[in-house]
Structure 1
Amino acid sequence: MATLTAEPLAIQPGEKFTYRLSWGLFRKAATLEIVAAQDAKDPNGVTRITSHTATQGFIRALYRFDGWGEFLYETESGRLRSAKAWTDTGSKSTNASIALDYDKMEADYVDHVRPEKSVLLDIPPDEPADFITTLIQTRSWDIGVGEEEKVSVLFDDEFYELIIAVDRKEMLSTKWGKKPALVLIPRMEGEPKGMFKRGGEISVWVSNDELRLPLRFQVKVAVGTAMAILTDYQEDADASELQARAIPPLVSPEASN
């Protein structure tokens, strides 16, 4: 089993992935958009990845949810420089950020709603990435069925070590017809944490062709199964509209209660 260090990003500026999220009987519960662009402040060396998850339709009428993520990566090395994540349900907000200093091998995690949760973390030797980018990064791996890779992943205010194994091959029905796919299974090394502690199981389908598209994500937990299905892929998308809306809310400790 190999251990991966940071490598060039597998998501390129201009690429955009749009997913339909289903939950149980609700086939169109939410949408997930992920888009990459050259960072305006450092266009030659940094890629900005923006993600937005939003409930829609009937589900949104019952429960409004918007979740945002913004991640800065060094394009050539694949190193994560910083990350921001915030959510808004109308009645509750979260807002956190993390900045990574590789000279000191420290990461400064700041919870802007609950300052007492802020913490200084040690960066693990295997340079980490956020979870969504890690799943997309698998498209660049040259591994086959029965092989696995070890990665370091950022979840909120912790770094986790994951083993991602290629479980099997499948033919998957997609918007673009039948596509050959590799099914990857992430699992946590050591004591389970987060969704893994609650018995969560994750599967990732990556097309086994030249594009290596992340076609589907599936998360099984005790209360049901959530699935993200790729419905649109663009190689030269304009990220400006989504980035313009990616503004963390002004929140106070009272707003999170």
Structure 2
Amino acid sequence: MIKKHLACLLLLLAFAQITKAQCIEKNIAFQEGEKLTYRGYYNWGFIWVAAGEVELSVQQSHYQNKEAFHFYGKGKNVSAFDWFFKLRDTLSCYANRETLAPFYFDRRTNEAKYHAHHEYWFSSNKKEIYSRIQKKSKPVLFDTIANKPCTFDILSIAYYVRNLDFSKYKKGTKIPISMLVDNEIHALYIRYLGLETIKTKSGEWFECLKFSPLLVEGTMFKGGEDMTVWLSNDDNRIPIMVEAKVLVGSVKGILDSYEGLRNTKNSFFKKKSGKVEITE
């Protein structure tokens, strides 16, 4: 049962990262050189089984002569499962350094015998998104989608949410976002659930902003608010843990290591690099 749910890990962490959709004016939460690594788990009955690893990184770059952030995510299952189901997925996005609006998004899915390549080009002048989708043994599909203000892909949205000012929202507030998922723009939201602390195995407590995103119904999720995200309540706003129900069972992503944090003075993380272990 693990094989289908390993593919959720990248999407969970990327998505975790919404009255009227809004754009940020300036990034204050992260910087180039940041690298976050997560361990993925699948709940099999009453047992949480280690299933894979997800890595998210930020680099300074350029896109068509414009300064840009290069967001990169990769996910893989643990090597012990390669004989059963080999997964190697990657997400790549070039985004505006000020607004985090995406210029280009690339998603490569390699899961056992299933292979797909999604590409999206965001045209700010014509307010359109051009897409190219290639699936194994099928013709290449080209399309043009009408873009909407402040629309993000499933990777850049994670970094956008980290810059939201949650202090102005009350518990239960819906914060809307506009997100491109599988060649379609969806009007989604996250529901702010207030503050909650998470205890580590080392005995440290992490105060977190807790929220539940609205999911798109599909082959992985039933839809609705079946995901919970815990975001560090400091200036870095790092996803500490993400948990979601899937069609069969549930999956969880837990922060394992980090480096290159932008804000080290007002932070729950005492060092520029380290390890985090969440108590089960």
Band of TM-score, shorter chain = 0.7 to 0.9
Among 207, 211, 219, the alignment partner of 1:184 is: 211
Say whether the 8 Å CA contact 1:96–1:110 is kept in structure 2.
yes
> Aligned partners of 1:79 and 1:33: how far apart in 2?
21
In the alignment, structure 1 residue 22 sits paired with structure 2 residue 38: no
- Look up the equivalent residue of 1:134 and give its one-letter code: I
Q: Which residue in the other structure is 1:87 paired with? A: 109
Q: Percent identity?
A: 22
- Look up the equivalent residue of 2:22 and give its one-letter code: L
Count of residue pairs the alignment pairs up = 233
Q: Which residue in the other structure is 2:190 paired with? A: 164
> Aligned partners of 2:184 and 2:26: how far apart in 1?
23
- Look up the equivalent residue of 1:173 and give its one-letter code: K
> Aligned partners of 1:7 and 1:59: how far apart in 2?
43
Return the TM-score normalized by structure 2.
0.75
Q: Which residue in the other structure is 1:208 paired with? A: 233
> Where in structure 2 are the equivalents of 1:120-199 lying within 5 Å?
120-125=144-149, 127-143=150-166, 144=169, 145-174=171-200, 177-187=204-214, 193-194=217-218, 197-198=222-223
> Aligned partners of 2:228 and 2:36: how far apart in 1?
18
Say whether the 8 Å CA contact 2:62–2:69 is kept in structure 1.
no
What is the Cα-based RMSD across aligned positions, in Å? Answer: 2.5
- Assess, with a 3 A threshold, how the Cα gap between structure 1 residues 55 and 96 changes in structure 2: closer, same or farther: same
- SS where residue 104 of structure 1 aligns? coil
Q: Which residue in the other structure is 1:251 paired with? A: none
Say whether the 8 Å CA contact 2:154–2:181 is kept in structure 1.
yes
- SS where residue 118 of structure 1 aligns? strand
- SS where residue 209 of structure 1 aligns? coil
Q: Which residue in the other structure is 1:221 paired with? A: 246
- Look up the equivalent residue of 1:154 and give its one-letter code: L
Gaps of 5+ in 2: 1-18, 263-280
> Aligned partners of 1:175 and 1:203: how far apart in 2?
21
The worse-fitting range, judged by mean Cα deviation, of 107-116 and 156-165 is 107-116
Gaps of 5+ in 1: 238-257
Shift of residue 187, structure 1, vs aligned partner: 1.7
- Look up the equivalent residue of 1:122 and give its one-letter code: A
Say whether the 8 Å CA contact 1:202–1:217 is kept in structure 2.
yes
Q: Which residue in the other structure is 1:119 paired with? A: 143
Say whether the 8 Å CA contact 1:184–1:205 is kept in structure 2.
yes
Q: Alpha-carbon deviations, 1:52-87, whole Å to 9, x = none?
A: 000014333311000001100010121110100012
Shift of residue 171, structure 1, vs aligned partner: 0.9
Q: Which residue in the other structure is 2:6 paired with? A: none
> Aligned partners of 2:227 and 2:238: how far apart in 1?
17
In the alignment, structure 1 residue 4 sits paired with structure 2 residue 22: yes
- Look up the equivalent residue of 1:120 and give its one-letter code: T
- Look up the equivalent residue of 2:35 and give its one-letter code: K
Return the TM-score normalized by structure 1.
0.81
Say whether the 8 Å CA contact 2:90–2:109 is kept in structure 1.
yes
Shift of residue 41, structure 1, vs aligned partner: 5.7
